[in-house]
Amino acid sequence: MSRPKQKAFTRVQVAGAVVLAAMSTAFLLAQAPPGPATPGAPPAGRGPGRGGGGMGGTYNPRPPAAPAEVARGKALYGVQCTFCHGPDARGGESGPNLWRTVTVTNDMKGELIGKVILSGVPEAGMPRFDMTPSQISDIAAFLHSFNVGGRDVMRDAPPNLLVGNAKSGEAYFKAKCGNCHSVTGDLKSIGTRIADPKTLQQTWIMPTPPRGGGFGLGANAALNVPPKTVTVTMPNGQKHEGRLDRIDDFTVTLIDDTGSPRTFLRNDRIPRVEVHDPLKPHKDLLAGYTDDDIHNVTAYLATVK
Amino acid sequence: MKNMKISLVVFTCMVSAGLATGQGLDPATLLKPLSDSWPTYSGDYSGKRYSALTQINQSNIKTLGLAWATRVTSGMPAAGGGGRGGGFGGGAAAVPQIVAGLGTGELNETGTTGRSSRIVGAVLEVDGVLYPSTPDNAWAVDARDGRVLWHFVWKTRGGTHTGNRGLGMWGNWLYMETPDDFLVCIDAKTGKERWHKEIAPLTEQYFSTNAPIVVGNHILVGIGNDLDSPAFLTSYDPETGDVQWKWYATPQDASDPALKTWAKLTASKYGGGHMWIPGSYDPETHLYIVGTGNPTPAYTTQSRGEGDNLYTCSLVAINVDTGKLVWHFQTSPHDSHDWDSTQTPALVNAEFGGKMRKLALTATRNGYYYTLDRVTGEHLVTGKFSPTANWASGVDSRGQPVRIPSKDWHVAGALVSPTNAGATNWMPPTFSPDTGLFYVTTEDSYSMYYLTELDPRGAMGLGGKQEMAAGMMGTFLTAIDYKTGKVAWRHQYPEASAWGGTNVGHPLMTTAGKLLFGGDPGGNLVAYDPANGKPLWHAKVGDPSNGAETYMLDGKQFVLIAAVDMLYAFALN
């Protein structure tokens, strides 16, 4: 089979150039980390590069850590964190890029990073780790030690996702999403409520319920997504309904309307169990999207201010 | 064929000479089909994970009950490492603690949350003794009642501690790979170190998780590295630890004909393809048949060129006597999603096209299944077992999926199935000759892949992209017909979410008792009917973390499962 001579990379370079020219103020604001900003201070944690620039210090508001501290943190990170977050902390098998995680960029000496280490992020699949305060500050010292390279414009400014055609997106939305959603109803001013295009895109593709699920972007206050529910029908016809807590081939647990969990043993098909997934229409649509459809709908929803 | 016969004779002589003074595991035992013991990663060389034991079977499975349970405790002895003798009973003598290694001990994980407390590999069973392992830790455990006999801990210098797939055994010696890249030879009787050899430099960020595979007088050792690096399989002498040969997965010099599948030598040299999961072995052809990992850089592939990037993401057959490649079949040409093809193949003698053939069966992380001739590498069947997989436009005349480059990633996101974890992952499949079906746990899921590294040089290792989950369609116990590559049936795990990390399901085992064992996402060890996937028996063990195994002692068949740091043995009541 012949493959395209010119790799898709050309497309990316063009897109990147367009992005930089078209970067809007709103977009930059949307990217700013939450919490109090220091006027005039450059964003923390930005600008790790490939060396040679010597401007890293400009971007790191923290006093430099002792080399021994960084070395200890590096070794400990290598043992406990590398598999998921990658050896350079820019993301690995399953964990996000720590260079751009606000927990890290806003952290000074482990006070924010430590909370995540000790409690984990169960909904994102991150386990908790037992570490001492000095181990946490060593890890923090190592993570903050990356801000030493040349300034990298590309990494400072994430590329614009709004490359789609809003008009085509509107037509697609009306055809495929209009049965359940309306930009004057449940999605009113969605482009304002979710200002970051990537968050907007991930959210409309698969909105994650406020609790449970554990798959997707995580809880989003801008949304009201109902949880999965389950109906358990006993052999005598009695029905039990509630929010689905857990289910496997042998048990099902629901949370009834008093907030109490109820567990039923399952034996083959008795009792009868029906799970109702409010996100089923979203899942059913996945196989039919082209990437252009996705980018167009995102471009459209971003205009719904 | 002539050469083959000669080497078989040589092989037998070497085995006898090497074991004249010892007992323990005779490598010839490894040539037998899986039955009373579990002396190597897959139980036997075939990778079928099909046990001939029938004491536990469909007619009596309902009476399978707990025989014993034991917790093993990882970490340095001062931190409480070791393991209680006699399972939950008190009063037993202290467990001998053997400490070795070049680190200080400060980096060794302690406590139950670390990966060093999680058994995710094979537990060898030889002569009534079990040998479980985790990163830096190994134990000997009485297979009859779970009493811990000794605990070995390796003081680590560092390295990714993600898991340990088990030990290898030759005579009285055990072989363990450590995260800080040593092959350690341990006396099985005492737990004491005999020697250690450095497999690769830790400074290049290699880490070792694999189970060494013992073939004759070869210890076959694969390693891992998530950054751009040369990938190699090393054969060691079991007695001295001397290197016998090294096989590289990618071209290391200009004379290699595979170089034309790469942009240039500097790319191929560090092109990855790590063999981090054991392969299977065919004693008749002396071929070690093993899956290779993803090429690197994994996502921003421009430095690799447009070629296939051989021999990454391939099933390769290496002659164990020479260390030379005999055949290869690439299951993912020019992979661009870190979808390793390291899955253990099942070597099967079965009817195909009207005659008996010697086959190799494999289902890979990219969502495709393959049947090959294991003598020649001839491609016979390709099937797609994950219906959502959308990264290929079809299958070409060579039987290989045709990648759609626009599904690599996009600055504004490309919707791709499967996710990085894959449609399956390292979890070993099983094959039952009773049903003629190949079983594997699978996942149908989507992610958005965003390109984040716009530098034309791309990123290193796994960098340069952001993957964000977009939809979990379902997780399954999947049965595949090796003759057609078609899915015979799937048992969906109800409403299960993603397993997380590189866990896509569970290792599986079938038995001649017409049973199919595996963990499920609800935390159960389950025995299914291999004909249709119907659950017949289960026990909620919490978090089954390795594959079910079985062995026979004193006329009693045991089924063993690890759940994190617990070992549970079941037998008929």
At B93, the pLDDT band (50, 70, 90 cuts) reads low
The answer to whether residue A3 sits within a structural domain is no
Residue A47 has pLDDT above 70, yes or no: no
Q: Are A70 and A182 within one domain? A: no
Same domain? For A145 and A73 the reply is yes
- B405–A206 CB contact, under 8 Å: no
Among the partner-chain residues B156, B421, B520, the one whose CB lies closest to the CB of A248 is B520
**Can you name the residues that pair with B193 across neighbouring β-strands?**
B186
Pairing of strands B414-416, B437-451: antiparallel
Distance (Å) of CA B111 to CA A206, A217, B69, B108, B501: 36, 30, 19, 10, 21
A27 and A100 co-located in one domain: yes
Burial of B329 (0-12, 13-18, 19+ CB in 10 A): buried
Task: Identify whether residues A250 and A191 lie together within a single domain.
Answer: no
Q: Which amino acid is at A29?
A: L
* Res A132 pLDDT > 90: yes
3-state DSSP percent of chain A in helix, strand and coil, to 5: 40, 10, 50
pLDDT tens digits along B488-502: 999 999 987 776 666
Asked whether residue A1 is domain-assigned, the answer is: no
Domain range enclosing A240: 229-276
User: Quick one: pLDDT at residue A126?
Assistant: 87
Q: Are residues A143 and A24 part of one domain?
A: yes
Instruction: Specify whether A119 is located in the same domain as A26.
Output: yes
- Please report the pLDDT score of residue B381 as a whole number: 98
Q: Which of A8, A206, A295 is the closest to B470 by Cβ?
A: A206
The whole model's pTM is what?
A: 0.85
Question: A80 in contact with B at a CB cutoff of 8 Å?
Answer: yes
For residues B66-92, give the mean pLDDT: 68
Per-residue DSSP letters for B224-291? B-SSSEE-EEEEE-TTT--EEEEEESS--STT-GGGGGSS-HHHHHTEE----S--EEETTTTEEEEE
List the domain boundaries for chain B: 1-55+62-121+123-164+166-201+541-573
Indicate whether A182 and A264 sit together in one domain. no
- Mean pLDDT to the nearest integer, B210-232: 95
Q: Is residue A186 part of a domain?
A: yes
Question: Predicted confidence band at B534 (pLDDT cuts at 50, 70, 90)?
Answer: very high
What tokens does B140 get? 């000997």
Are B455 and A217 in contact (CB < 8 Å)?
Answer: no
Residues A112 and A247 in one domain: no
Residue from the list B413, B454, B521 with its beta carbon closest to the beta carbon of A201: B413
Kindly report the average pLDDT of chain B as a whole number. 92
| Residue A298 and residue A192 share a domain | yes
Rounded distance, CA A22 to CA A32, Å?
18
Q: Are A48 and A147 in contact (CB under 8 A)?
A: yes
Among A residues 254-273, those touching chain B with beta carbons less than 8 Å apart: 268, 273
Question: B365: helix, coil or strand?
Answer: coil
Residue B554 scores a pLDDT above 90? yes
Number of structural domains chain A divides into: 3
Whole-angstrom distance, CA of residue A255 vs CA of residue B29: 54
**Cα distance from A57 to chain B (closest Cα, Å)?**
22
More confident residue, B18 or A200: A200
pLDDT at position A222 is 58
Contact list, A215 vs chain B (CB under 8 Å):
469, 471-472, 497-498
- Residue A131, in any domain of the structure: yes
> How many angstroms separate the CA atoms of B280 and B44, rounded?
9
Tens-place pLDDT, residues A263-286: 999 998 899 999 999 999 999 999
Task: Give the model's pLDDT for residue B82.
Answer: 44
Q: Assign A158 a pLDDT band (cuts: 50, 70, 90).
A: low
Average pLDDT over residues A123-143: 91
Distance from CA of A215 to the nearest CA of B (A): 6
If asked whether residues A207 and A77 sit together in one domain, one would say no
Which residues does chain B have within 8 Å of residue A86's beta carbon, measured at their own beta carbons?
Answer: 226, 461-463
- Looking at the structure, tell me whether residues A57 and A178 fall in a common domain: no
What CATH number is attached to the domain comprising A84?
1.10.760.10
ipTM of the complex: 0.91
